[in-house]
Amino acid sequence: MTQSLPESFAEFGEARQKGFLRVKEIKEQGGKVAGVFCTFTPLEILDTAGITPVSLCGMSDETIPAAEAHLPKNLCPLIKSSYGFAVSDKCPYTYFSDLIVGETTCDGKKKMYELLGKLKDTYILHLPQGIAGDDALEFWTRELRRFITYLEDRFQVRLTDAALRQAARVRNEERAARLELMELQALTPPPAFGYDIYKTLEGLGFCFDRQEAIDKVRSLTAQLRADYDAGKRPVSPHAKRILVTGCPIGGVLDKTVRALEEKGGVAVCFENCSGIKAMHQMVDTEAEDIVQAIARRYLSIGCAVMTPDSRRMALLKELLQTFRVDGVVEIDLQACTPYCVESFWIRQAAEAAGVPYLALETDYSQADGGQLSTRLEAFLEILE
């Protein structure tokens, strides 16, 4: 599937494994590491404190049995996998973390963080339940100020407004670079398979030098564009253009997105957490109150944990047009109540736009791989 694509795609795919050694080096050089889980975590604040953030989201069913010794079996596989890697001491990133930063994005994670707190120092960021009115922004801004004070006291650092603005500029630059790569998929046909784009975006999170990450993704974008302009077309012009939405899908990517593309589709847009949903918002670095500006940026992410989730619905409508989508595939993890319930509204939004919709609910096991492949194949057939 990737034989005609730039070799650097493979580099991003291996970034998670290579990152283990880099984190070890950071620790040996006296650096600090924070394990994080969610796109609501204010990375600019960690950057300013000189703390390297790294994702602890589990993407394998390997450690789920260990997690189920403490957690219910009918819990989200991402939560169980993440906790399983921590409790079984199989994740170097958790091992090297000086701090785990959790957030109240779902009840399952909140309770899991209580257990993680027995293994590692865990700090919880409390999100508002919705975004309506000024109260939500004021509440979230206070949470970020509390977080800043905690980091200053805990690590004996000083987070100045000037340093926060500079960190925000760098993160804005990285988001813009990611967006530039993702927006190439609006071309007809797209210049790459969605599976490779997703693995690239995922791998960027394990490149801990921000400028290096920016340069790498820009280089890849430029290479893809140059190859495309030279006539290279790895994706068939007949491939049906699919928007993928729903939960974080790193742990189910092969049996969903890869299967979709092997059956003749192509994922042109990921509205999921690791895709476009949390990248198009920028921090206003010229705002008078930089902490509030950072809070505003993160609060504008359209996530199913918010009630109502108007931002996600508005973004979906825009993406359907921008990427000229033929079909929407929602991939939700079992027991993820916010996204599974919100699939009702996503289906309505897709149907209102005249775009066929398919909902898949799955976990990290491979037991349903054949069934998912069959359903995806049948969905692509109705798009003919």
Query: What residue spans define the domains of the chain?
Result: 8-160
**CA–CA separation, 327 and 346 (whole Å):** 12
pLDDT value of position 16? 73
Helix (H) or strand (E) run with residue 99 in it = strand 99-103
The pLDDT value given to residue 10: 58
Query: 359 has which bridge partners?
Result: 330
The pLDDT score that the predictor gives to residue 5 is: 47
Q: Distance between CA atoms of 361 and 363, rounded to whole angstroms?
A: 7
* pLDDT band (50, 70, 90) for residue 3: very low
8-160 topology per CATH: Rossmann fold (3.40.50)
Mean pLDDT value across residues 86-108: 94
Structure tokens that stand for 226 in this block = 């140059």
CA–CA separation, 259 vs 377, rounded Å?
Answer: 9
**Angle, alpha carbons 361-366-368 (nearest 5°):** 45
Token pair for 235:
């994706």
Tell if the pTM clears 0.85, that is, is over it: yes
